[in-house]
Structure 1
Amino acid sequence: MAKSNLIEMNNVGIVVESLDNAISFFTEIGLTLEGRSMVEGEWAGRVTGLGDQSVEVAMMVTPDGHSRLELSRFLTPATIADHRKAPVNALGYLRIMFRVDNLDELLSRLVNQGAELVGEVVNYENIYRLCYIRGTEGLLIGLAEQLSNQTTKDILEKS
């Protein structure tokens, strides 16, 4: 049997209480709503292990078309845990980081929508300006503005 090869990362999924608020927030960051629909029935539960389920899903896509964010609102079964306020060093979901341009302008717009700056905006070796925010529903989101042509790979290789 041939070894399978990774093709791409398809999406990252986040469960939210308000799909409308989450869509609005991620649209403000720059993602586009690709589609919205219900995922229901026993077949879906076989994938997730949750049994018969009813979930409203919205798929958001980045401007380059390569990355997607799947937002889900569970109708049944009800959500059973809430990790949204966990700090950045908690096990499990950590955060999503978006590379943006004009970080200050975007941050101002997101704060006007209720986002909160977690720490401060920092300059990392004149390569990136970065910050973490708590966005809609307290989700931890990273924003990074690239200042030079160095890549994340270059940074990690220096370590």
Structure 2
Amino acid sequence: MTIQRMDNVAIVVDDLDAAVAFFAELGMEVEGSTHIEGPWADRTVGLNVIRSEITMLRTPDGHGRLELTKYHAPALSGAGSENPPPNTLGLHRIMFAVDDIDDTVDRLRTHGAELLDEIAQYESTYRLCYLRGPAGIIVALAEQIG
């Protein structure tokens, strides 16, 4: 037996509204939001007395999904620095293909995004950049040019 699909990527954030606005500006569409709590959630995640909110977003093509989660309880874990560098072990970035990287960066800057360095060109095929979004999330953007 093999997997059927990758269902979603989940990211824990401290400001759910800001994170949803950021990814909506990027072009993701909100599927829905809900509160999560109860013994089933505790057993699933392995934490006690979970109280959280989630918002599920999807890419315009309907194939990719992102779950943004804000925990109200238990207290957030302080696993590492607030803005870990891109080479930190573990999940550290999410990448999106865009049709206009300059416009996308400009729009995301209005939501607090900051480039880690600059938009760079890889050979004659891509323009790429990393930027830091809400909750320190590193978002990579790629525009195919060749």
Task: Give the secondary structure class of the aligned counterpart of 1:126.
Answer: coil
Matching residue's letter, 1:109: R
Percent identical across equivalent pairs?
A: 46
Cα displacement (A) at 1:76: 1.1
Cα displacement (A) at 1:82: 4.8
CA separation in 2, counterparts of 1:107 and 1:119? 12
Pairwise mapping of residues 100-115 of structure 1 onto structure 2 (< 5 A)?
A: 100-115=98-113
The match for 1:93 among 76, 91, 94 is: 91
RMSD of Structure 2 on Structure 1 (CA)? 1.2
**Aligned CA distance change for structure 1 residues 110 and 10 (closer, same or farther; 3 Å):** same
The match for 1:139 among 133, 137, 140 is: 137
Once the two structures are superposed, residues 100-143 of structure 1 have per-residue CA deviations (whole angstroms, 9 ceiling, x without a partner) of: 11110111111132211101111111111100001123211101
Contact in 1 for aligned 2:21/2:111 (Cα 8 Å) = no
CA separation in 2, counterparts of 1:21 and 1:74? 15
Q: Which has the larger radius of gyration?
A: 1
Cα displacement (A) at 1:14: 0.4
Moved over 6 A (4+): none
The match for 1:8 among 2, 5, 8 is: 5
Task: Give the secondary structure class of the aligned counterpart of 1:28.
Answer: helix
Moved more, 8-17 or 107-116: 107-116
Q: Gapped runs of 5+ residues in structure 2?
A: none
Q: TM-score, normalised by structure 1?
A: 0.87
CA separation in 1, counterparts of 2:79 and 2:129? 23
Matching residue's letter, 2:141: L
Q: Gapped runs of 5+ residues in structure 1?
A: 149-159
1:153: which partner in 2?
none
Task: Give the secondary structure class of the aligned counterpart of 2:105.
Answer: helix
CA separation in 1, counterparts of 2:90 and 2:136? 16
Is 2:31 the partner of 1:49?
no
